[in-house]
Amino acid sequence: MHPKILVPLVLLSSLAQAADDLLGETTGGNTTVFATGRNAFSFPAANLTDAEQSRFVIGNSFFKRNWVQAPASTKARDGLGPHFIARSCGGCHVNDGRGAPPAVGQQPVGLLIRLSISGLGAHGGVMPEPTYGDQFNNAAVQGVKAEGKVDIAYTELHGNFADGAAYTLLQPSYSLHELGYGPLANEVLVSPRIAPQLIGVGMLEAIDEAELERNARQQAAEKGPIKGMINRVWDAPAGKMLPGRFGWKANVATIAHQTAGAFQGDIGITSSVFPDETCTRAQTDCVAAPRGGQGKAPEIDDKTLGDVVFYQATLAPPARRAPNDAEVLRGQKLFAEAQCSTCHRPSYVTQASPNPQFSSTALNGQRIWPYTDLLLHDMGDALADGRPDGLANGRQWKTPPLWGVGLIKEVNNHQRLLHDGRARGVLEAVLWHGGEAETSRDRVLKMSQPERAALVKFVDRRLRVRHR
């Protein structure tokens, strides 16, 4: 090749690269996988070493395996319950994806109900409901009563966009009944939450705390109602208060805490982090039920627990699709105009993971596109659960990352969005935005049909993958 044309070619290709980056096609930098379909959320970061890939596979097997009631012949996987909701992590995070509210008449699995009463618990956390604890477990092993059943009913709400087009939203209401241990406290606070997709959580953990502070500072300095704040929560593995990043109220700081907490609270598997079952004193059958594992040791050992944490930390975000499509580009502009990007901050560069023992250096220094500020925002009455969680009040929720939101349809055959899965797609999710996001929602109400379609397509329906 002639040297004179080599130079501009190189320039051109690096420009193209930069443009790609601006569009955020490589959602997770070098970790990005170009995948669609059912398994789009289940791939390891593309740049893991072979040894790390093996660890990922081991972690995956414990994420998916069903735990069984103790005593069983396989000590390595007994200890389910006594109270639980699902038998495995994958039972709720189906294909590493998102849970859905149950069909009418069915019991929820991918949606769980957090409980508390008013007042502050240990380390500024919640005060558990005295008889039922901090979570409602609608399943139990044989010989133990379940805590009860959850019913969800929906009321249809009707509205119109400024152009006259009609929309319908589903307003959920919850009731807890067939209670196993008598009445709930009168002042019980209830917070329904669906299981989110797990892609890229390791990189969310590797966003510098200073970036979260910067988001809050910038929002505080701007005019207008958007004023996000950091949640600060107790991290049991680290033994200190840390900024919250995970859970719908940023109520958990690390993947390690979330994992040990889910093993204990959702499946009934104890660990060195949370060595006790969740039975309250009033639940005598639960207290008396046989424990799993080997003697006095926790039901899951530290190595296995660490492998499950590593597995999630290294789940890759899939690439965005059709980032150069004209309608997508139009939607991207509308997204910024409607101030969506103030809370759903597009991009960061990761630092080294604060928990390298459960993560990979492959995640360090990557330009990622999660679309979140990881801050709490007042989202208005209609979304409020009235249940404080750490510094979060009963009207605040954490801005969830938007990466992968469009692929939930392919992975989970539904697209139930928001903390309790009430929204059936992106547009409904936006129509529920209130409080600090009211101006954004009003802007969307005034959009023309083609503008709404472009906005949704930007967040969601990008046409196709470029590679693979």
Chain contacts with ligand HEC (rule: CB under 6 A): 63, 85-86, 89, 91-93, 110, 112, 193-196, 198, 201, 226, 246-248, 251, 255, 258-259, 262-263, 266-267, 308, 312, 335, 338-340, 342-344, 377, 379, 383, 397-400, 402, 405, 417-419, 426, 429-430, 433, 436-437, 440, 444, 455, 459
Closer by beta carbon to ligand HEC, 18 or else 220? 220
Closer by beta carbon to ligand HEC, 407 or else 430? 430
Distance CA 359, CA 355 (A): 6
Sorted by sequence, the CB contacts under 8 Å of residue 124 that are 6+ apart come out as 232, 233, 234, 241, 390, 391
Sorted by sequence, the CB contacts under 8 Å of residue 85 that are 6+ apart come out as 92, 108, 109, 112, 135, 137, 138, 139, 266, 267
Could you tell me the smallest distance in angstroms from the CB atom of residue 232 to ligand HEC?
15
Distance CA 266, CA 80 (A): 10
The residue type of 104 is: V
Could you tell me the smallest distance in angstroms from the CB atom of residue 281 to ligand HEC?
24
Distance CA 398, CA 415 (A): 19
Q: Could you tell me if 147 and 137 are in contact, meaning their C-beta atoms sit under 8 angstroms apart? A: yes
Could you tell me the smallest distance in angstroms from the CB atom of residue 93 to ligand HEC?
6
Closer by beta carbon to ligand HEC, 255 or else 289? 255
Closer by beta carbon to ligand HEC, 29 or else 101? 101
Distance CA 136, CA 138 (A): 6
Could you tell me the smallest distance in angstroms from the CB atom of residue 417 to ligand HEC?
3
Could you tell me the smallest distance in angstroms from the CB atom of residue 295 to ligand HEC?
22
Closer by beta carbon to ligand HEC, 144 or else 204? 204
Distance CA 68, CA 258 (A): 21
- CA angle, 151 then 146 then 195, to 5°: 55
Q: Could you tell me if 378 and 388 are in contact, meaning their C-beta atoms sit under 8 angstroms apart? A: no
Distance CA 309, CA 231 (A): 22
Closer by beta carbon to ligand HEC, 325 or else 466? 325
Start-to-end CA span in the chain (Å): 29
Which residue is listed with tokens 């910024």? 336
Could you tell me the smallest distance in angstroms from the CB atom of residue 197 to ligand HEC?
8
The residue type of 326 is: A
Closer by beta carbon to ligand HEC, 209 or else 466? 209
Could you tell me the smallest distance in angstroms from the CB atom of residue 1 to ligand HEC?
45
Could you tell me the smallest distance in angstroms from the CB atom of residue 228 to ligand HEC?
7
Closer by beta carbon to ligand HEC, 339 or else 364? 339
